[in-house]
Structure 1
Amino acid sequence: MMYERRWAQSWLAIGFLWFLVAIALAPSNKIYQQGLVLFLWLPTLILLWSARGVLVQLWNAQRALCVSVGLLLLWSALSLFWTSAENTEREFKRLLYIVFFLLFFPLLVNANFSRLIQLMQWGGIGLGVAALLSIVQFYGVQGQPWVSRLYGIGEISHPILGAYVIAAAIIWMLHWQPQQRWFQVLWVLSLVSLGAFLVLCQSRGAAFALLISLVAMPYWCRDRRSRLIAIGAIVAAVLGLVLMYTLIMARGSSYRPEIFQSSVQMIALNPWTGLGLGSFYSVTALGHQFDHTHNMLTHIAVELGIPGVLLWLAVWLCVVREIWRVRSTIFGKGLLGLWLFSSLAMQFDAASLTDTPRAEWFISWLPVGLTMALVWMHARRPGCDKISGSN
């Protein structure tokens, strides 16, 4: 099959690394999106026909997930008939991007989960480099005081959304430790850089979601290493609270309760249809205006109504169902950690589901795409029984 050839797999691997790392290191968002077209959308489109057998297996193995995703995207497309968005063609094109992104993963994995894990490890190292560059530029070059919230480089420049990307990388790096000594050195240095970035961003939502995910890690990993990580996370949290208490409490609740209340009132005005995909809206709380609801579920409800929320929940629950079936594998354990982190992170921000690929995709469509790669765990191919081995 054409998608199995070395040049095709290399093309797909470059696309995945571009998605993970160039979000921070690309000179601009335009170049990042153009790179995705070249390295991710285009190869997926070209190679899909040769992988039609894999798509049939995907349908047979994960029918509930496929139906849920299909209905969500269909409802999103239907909402374009009543949306106030200026460019409905662009909104529809973004839905196609999601389709190709999700179908990209079964092609990329090709029954080799160790290779996928290694690609994500390199992605984490690349984000570690971006985190270090961000710290040097912000505090060194720009001369900002250390008490200032860190603004990263590239598309991780937002202190909240950038923190979610970095925290997600910490999750998969801690679950998937490399075996080679030289690789472990890079792994440790990257984790230090990623951790420093997260602390300096002062994003309480990302830190809380990461803490809970790491504390829960022994539940599915069931080994000494995961217990040490959980204990270390608790100690780090207590130490951070003591040392940064003033900074943590200075921003109060950041208007989150008021934003949520205002969002619910907006949803009540159009509970069944929503405003339509891509509609512009703002949320007013205590005299302040915010450009979104700071919560994934309420954002979806504002745009797509209650049906949209139910369909997204169906997708998300189907994802964890598929992950739970492979929770005994190394890949499944890492995915479970990422799913839990993403579920928590969605409650505090990341109010974007169908925009072009950006930081929010790391806690929405990335877990869904990685779950669709699990189709290979159901395939009867040589080597598939070894996927739970060492990475």
Structure 2
Amino acid sequence: MMYARRWAQIWLAIGFLWFLVAIALAPSNKIYQQGLLLFLWLPTLVFLWSARAVFAQVWSAQRGLCLVVFLLLGWSALSLGWSAADDLGREFKRLMYISVFLMFFPILASLGVQRIMQLLLWGGIGLGVAALYSIIYYYGFLDKPWSARLWGVGEISHPILGAYVIAAAVIWMLHWPPQQRWLQALWGVALLLLGAFLVLCQSRGAALGLLISLVAMPLWCRDRRSCVISAATIVAAIAGFIVMYSMIMERGSSFRPEIFKASLQMIAEHPWLGLGLGSFYEVSAAGQQFDHTHNMFTHIAIELGIPGMLLWLAVWLCTLREIWKTRDTAFGKGLMGLWLFSTLAMQFDAASLTGTPRAEWFISWLPVGLATVLVWVRARAPGCDKISGSI
């Protein structure tokens, strides 16, 4: 099996790390996309035929998830027939990107769940480096006041979307701590840097999503460590709210209720077909124009109609179903936390499902892709699938 050879697994590992870390550290978005083409899309296509038995296993074990993903991508492609997008070929190509991205993960599973968690750990450490560089560059070289909202580097430069990427890394880092002492030091420093980035971004949506996800952690982890994390999160949230009360409240609701109401009116105008994939639209609310709905589900409903929104909801719920089956494993617990955080993040922003790989993919397609790896977690013998909580 070509995909299981050592050189192939190194290629796959580099591709996954590139997706996780280069989103912040790549010199430009063009280089980030080109790197994905070389390290992620290309190996997936090269190993596609040799890994056909792997895809058969995924289809057999996760038929419901596979079916709704196919239906969603198919409906998205069909909507190009009535879309007003400037470049229909580009929109179709993006659907192919999503397809190849999701096929990448069953092949990546050949590395083993333990190694995938290690890659995510190193990805989190890499994002910690990006967080440190962002803080030094923004407040040091650009001489911005500490009260200013932090804009990160690379594709995490948006204070909201960048915060979602960093918060997602905090989730998986806390669920999968390392065992080696020297690595624990790096892990701890990276967590502090990621936390500082989140605070300085002043993204209330990311902070609230992270808060709820960590407070709820004992529900699926059911151990003393998760209870400590939950309690510490509550204490930190109370302290942060007291210290930053005026900063938190001065921006009000950021027009989210008004945007949501206007979005529902737009959905009612084209409820069944939507505007079509990639169609440009603006939301008029509170006397202002917004370039998207600041909500994943209403955005999909505007572009793909109610059928498209229901198909994405089905994809998301099927992903939860697969994760829930493995909630007694370390990998399943980590994905449970990531799924909950992503669900909350979708309510406040991240209104892009079919764009080129970007920050939004960390809370949309990444959880779906990682869920396919669970096929091999469940396939292990009962004594083997209890993956250790530490790496």
**TM-score of Structure 1 vs Structure 2, range by shorter chain:** over 0.9
Alpha-carbon contact 1:15-1:36 (below 8 Å) kept: yes
User: Contact 1:112/1:387 (CA < 8 Å) preserved in 2?
Assistant: no
In structure 2, what is the Cα distance between the partners aligned to 1:387 and 1:242?
A: 41
Identify the residue that residue 289 of structure 1 maps to in structure 2: 289
**Contact 2:377 2:385 (C-alpha < 8 Å) held by counterparts:** no
Alignment of 1:76-225 (within 5 A): 76-110=76-110, 112-225=112-225
2:384 maps to 385
1: CA distance, partners of 2:67 / 2:259: 32
Look up the match of 2:65.
Answer: 65
C-alpha deviation, 1:384, in angstroms: 9.0
- Partners of 2:324 and 2:332 within 8 A in 1: yes
Letter of the 2:29 counterpart: N
| Paired residue secondary structure (1:347) | helix
Match of 1:50 in 2: 50
Secondary structure at 2:347's aligned position in 1?
coil
The letter of the residue matching 2:78 is L
List per-residue Cα deviations over 1:9-56 (Å, max 9, x = no partner).
000000000000000000000000000000000000000110100110
Deviation per CA, 1:307-336, whole angstroms, max 9, x where unpaired?
001000100000000000000000000000
Please show how residues 299-338 of structure 1 align to structure 2 within 5 Å: 299-338=299-338
1:284-311 Cα shifts (integer Å, max 9, x gaps) = 1111111000000000000000000100
Give the whole-Å Cα distance in 1 for the aligned partners of 2:261 and 2:64: 33
Measure how far apart 1:110 and its partner are.
1.2
Q: Spell out the pairing of 1:214-363 with structure 2 (5 A cutoff).
A: 214-363=214-363
| Contact map agreement 1:218 1:230 (CA 8 A) in 2 | yes
Q: Please give the alpha-carbon distance, in whole angstroms, between the structure 1 residues aligned to 2:333 and 2:285.
A: 40
5 Å matches for 1:21-40? 21-40=21-40
Whole-angstrom distance in 2 between the partners of 1:308 and 1:270: 12
Q: Whole-Å Cα distance in 2 between the matches of residues 76 and 379 of structure 1?
A: 33
What secondary structure sits across from 1:284 in the alignment? Answer: strand
- Pick closer, same or farther for the CA change 1:384–1:92 going to 2, 3 Å: farther
Q: Partner of 1:374: helix, strand, or coil?
A: helix
Alignment check: 8 A CA contact 2:329 2:385 kept: no
- Corresponding position of 1:371: 371
Separation (CA, whole Å) in 2 of partners of 1:111 and 1:37: 20
CA contact (8 A) 1:79 1:304 kept: yes
User: Once the 2 structures are TM-superposed, how far is the Cα of residue 177 of structure 1 from its aligned partner?
Assistant: 0.2
Deviation at 1:375, TM superposition (A): 1.7
CA distance in 1, matches of 2:336, 2:366: 13
Task: Look up the SS of the partner of 2:199 in the other structure.
Answer: helix
What is the CA deviation profile of residues 189-238 of structure 1, one whole-angstrom value per residue up to 9, with x for unaligned ones? Answer: 00000000000000000000000000000111111110110011111111
Q: Secondary structure of 2:368's match? A: helix
- Corresponding residue of 1:8: 8
CA distance in 2 between counterparts of 1:300 and 1:202 reads 27
* Letter of the structure 2 residue corresponding to residue 220 of structure 1: W
Alignment partners' CA distance in 2, 1:168 and 1:38: 25
1:307 maps to amino acid: P
Q: Which shows bigger deviation, 367-376 or 60-69?
A: 367-376
Deviation for aligned residue 1:258: 0.5
Task: Give the AA of the match of 2:196.
Answer: A
Shift of 1:266: 0.5
Match of 1:385, SS state, is coil
Q: Residue type of the partner of 1:219?
A: L
Q: Distance in 2 between matches of 1:379 and 1:215?
A: 31
Give the match's secondary structure for 2:289. strand
Opposite residue 247 of structure 2, the aligned amino acid is L
How far apart, in 2, do the equivalents of 1:387 and 1:47 lie?
29
CA distance in 2 between counterparts of 1:69 and 1:239 reads 42
Quote how far apart the aligned CAs of 1:376 are.
Answer: 1.4
CA contact (8 A) 2:342 2:364 kept: yes
Say if 1:384 and 1:271 are closer, same or farther in 2 by CA, change over 3 A. Answer: farther
Conserved? CA contact 2:91–2:277, under 8 Å: yes
**How many angstroms does 1:111 deviate by?**
6.1
What's the RMSD between the two structures over aligned residues? 1.2
Q: CA deviation at 1:385?
A: 2.5
Shift of 1:378: 4.0
**Residues 60 and 210 (structure 1 numbering): CA distance in 2 closer, same or farther, change over 3 Å?**
same
Between the aligned partners of 2:370 and 2:171, the Cα distance in structure 1 is 14
2:348 is paired with a residue of what secondary structure?
coil
Moved over 3 A (4+): none
Distance in 1 of aligned mates of 2:188 and 2:378: 34
CA distance in 1, matches of 2:370, 2:54: 15
CA drift of 1:66 comes to: 0.1
CA positional deviation for 1:379: 3.7
